[in-house]
Structure 1
Amino acid sequence: MVSPSALFAAAAPEFLASEPQHPSAEQIELHDGLLDRPAHIDPKFLYDALGSSLFTAITQLPEYYPTRCEDEIFQRHGADIARHIGPVQAMIDLGAGDCVKAERLFPSLRPSHYVPVDISADYLQTAVRRLQLSYPDLRITAVGQDFSHELALPADVPAEQRLCFYPGSSIGNLGPDDAYAMLRRIRDACPGGGLLVGVDRVKPRSVLEPAYDDALHLTAAFNLNLLRHVNAVLDSDFNVEDWRHVALFNSERSRVEMHLEAQRALHVTWPGGHREFKRGERIHTENSYKFTPQAFSDLLHRAGFRDVAHWSDTRGWFSVFSARA
């Protein structure tokens, strides 16, 4: 329990927001994706404030195994992981969300500087205010940033003491070329430092598909909320009730795909564009690639990492990799 004196002593967390993407740039990206065939929307648009809250709820579902598997790995192998990582001054938490995953590692990794990075700046600000009350001596610099194309970190931490933390199998949301590019950006941001990354593994369809299409339909709400976010950014006229959530495992590409499927023939408009959707036509909204340990280890080595080690849960459903940049 934090004492009242500690509450007053806690330093306010720093918050850095990168220059916001000009609205027209986001609008152009959405416009082009909606007119492509098949239509697609970048999964970063899933994470407005409501989307981030819904995803936090999804991680508590019985069908959604990645969070529990990753937690099991840290509980069973935390000491070995910490030894492999070595001293950490700054912990860079990529896609931090509510910051809970990183917070669970504070006792073993003992960072002196915590740098959560997330595209949902408002959600992140709320999270770090809560965190600062519990850890008044920890320096926190929150960064509101879309790091999908550029990773710009505070310059006042020696690079060799940086640990980039990329949990929850978020690396799987990227296609093979983009995943490689992301790992190269992380390596360039942490030369001499380290990477700790969660990776989802190949497993039966009967396990994978329910994790992305749960009985309570929270994942459906998460996916459909994307259309509300698109309406806000693009001034489009999507009606959520016209669409349904679809999740399927594409075994040839080793990925779970999420789509939104038109339930009737539709005409969607926005300033400067429009599109007809046939009944049953889909908008591709997210991929989640699944790896074998060897395949991901090879990817890390190709991206320039060394001293690669990994740990798995007891069922072999998930892996956590540690590597040196």
Structure 2
Amino acid sequence: MNVHAAALAKAYPFDEATSAFAGDVIGDLARHPKRLSPKYFYDAAGSELFEQITVLPEYYPTRTELGILRDRGDEIAAIIPQGAALVEFGAGATTKVRLLLEHCEFGAYVPVDISGDFLKAQADGLRKDFPDLGIYPVAADFTTPFALPEAVADLPKVGFFPGSTLGNFEPQEAASFLRSARKILGHGAQMIIGVDLEKDERTLYDAYNDAAGVTARFNLNVLVRINRELGGNFDLSSFMHRSIYNRDRHRIEMHLISRKAQTVRILGNTFAFRPGETIHTENSYKYSLERFTALARSAGWTVRESWTDAARMFSVHALTAE
């Protein structure tokens, strides 16, 4: 628990998760420039909004990765041990994991996500279609160490980290996550991971600034959550969404921009905003195949196989723990 969370836990009757949320929000908004962690996007409303984003015409990652998993499912199955436990880091909707479960003979499935209610609902739906599969949800922040269920202790482990979530981490954080996942999964583990690739800037811009405004609502929802859970007084109409591509750092940056001079209060703390000042809410790094291979190697993984779509928009990799 950080210093802000510890102090807030004494002053307010929050549970541990809410105290951590409050501590991170207050600490990050006190920074210059201001920021918020993207892991707090995913309350129930945020998770539902993200699922809407995945089917937008501009948003290519989900449908492209699904195509790779569908087309290469037999090749993936050929390198995964039968009866293994599939551990999904940051489990969301079950569309992608269903493709793996249909192609591979897993002994158990362990979805891990910070949004407990959403996780339970998805797990319940999956049990109906795979009644013989042991499903053991874990409500946890997958970016920090957590314990796997005892029921899968003796099974080979295969991690699953689809989507472009790895790109939300700074490169050093991505390496740290990969090292942590290797430790959680244990000796001899494998991992199936999705990685977004570098491409033309127009395609990237459109994917994160959709015409329907769903990404904008997703971004602004973190302020709704702060207001609801932490008693904040953000005026959503005074902030606007914007995503830009930072060419030098190979990343999309998502921001909330203050439309005017204003002051926001959260749990007795005051935060002043200048007109045009931003809250940096998310990065989405784009990799070349070579840069991702180097990143994985630095974290103790070997890239065993890599698959892309025909247009090389997205990639899926099979990793083996060294």
The answer to whether the superposition gives a TM-score over 0.5 is yes
8 A Cα contact 1:45 1:230, kept in partner: no
Q: Tell me the CA shift for residue 308 of structure 1.
A: 2.4
> In the alignment, does 2:234 pair up with 1:234?
no
Deviations 1:95-148 (A, max 9, x none): 111222101211111212111111111111111111111111111101111122
8 A Cα contact 1:264 1:280, kept in partner: yes
Q: 2:118 aligns with which of 119, 123, 133?
A: 123
Q: Tell me the CA shift for residue 306 of structure 1.
A: 2.4
User: 2:159 matched to which residue of 1?
Assistant: 164
User: 1:244 matched to which residue of 2?
Assistant: 240
Residues of 2 paired with 1:264 and 1:289: CA distance? 30
User: 2:63 matched to which residue of 1?
Assistant: 68
After superposition, where does 1:72-221 map in structure 2 within 5 Å?
Answer: 72-158=67-153, 161-190=156-185, 191-221=187-217
SS for the counterpart of 2:112 is strand
User: 1:7 matched to which residue of 2?
Assistant: none
Residues of 2 paired with 1:307 and 1:276: CA distance? 46
> In the alignment, does 2:259 pair up with 1:270?
no
**Residue type at the aligned position of 2:99:** R
Query: Sequence identity, in percent?
Result: 39
Gaps of 5+ in 1: 1-19
8 A Cα contact 2:81 2:156, kept in partner: no
Gaps of 5+ in 2: 1-14
Deviations 1:217-252 (A, max 9, x none): 000000011101122333211111111000011011
8 A Cα contact 1:93 1:116, kept in partner: yes
8 A Cα contact 2:85 2:155, kept in partner: no
> In the alignment, does 2:291 pair up with 1:295?
yes
Deviations 1:252-304 (A, max 9, x none): 11110100001111110112311110111100000000000011111111111
Q: Tell me the CA shift for residue 89 of structure 1.
A: 1.8
Residues of 1 paired with 2:246 and 2:253: CA distance? 7
Q: Tell me the CA shift for residue 88 of structure 1.
A: 4.5
Structure with more relative contact order (C-alpha pairs < 8 Å, separation 6 or more): 1
Q: Tell me the CA shift for residue 22 of structure 1.
A: 4.5
Q: Tell me the CA shift for residue 159 of structure 1.
A: 6.2
Deviations 1:177-222 (A, max 9, x none): 1100100011111221210000000111101011111010000000
SS for the counterpart of 1:156 is helix
Q: TM-score, normalization: structure 1? A: 0.91
Residues of 1 paired with 2:65 and 2:313: CA distance? 9
Superposition CA RMSD, Å? 1.4
Residues of 1 paired with 2:166 and 2:105: CA distance? 24
Count of residues paired in the alignment: 306
Residues of 2 paired with 1:43 and 1:208: CA distance? 18
Residues of 2 paired with 1:21 and 1:98: CA distance? 26
Deviations 1:137-188 (A, max 9, x none): 1111011111222233213324661110000011111001110010001111
Q: Tell me the CA shift for residue 307 of structure 1.
A: 5.0
User: 1:324 matched to which residue of 2?
Assistant: 320
**Residue type at the aligned position of 2:259:** Q
User: 2:278 matched to which residue of 1?
Assistant: 282
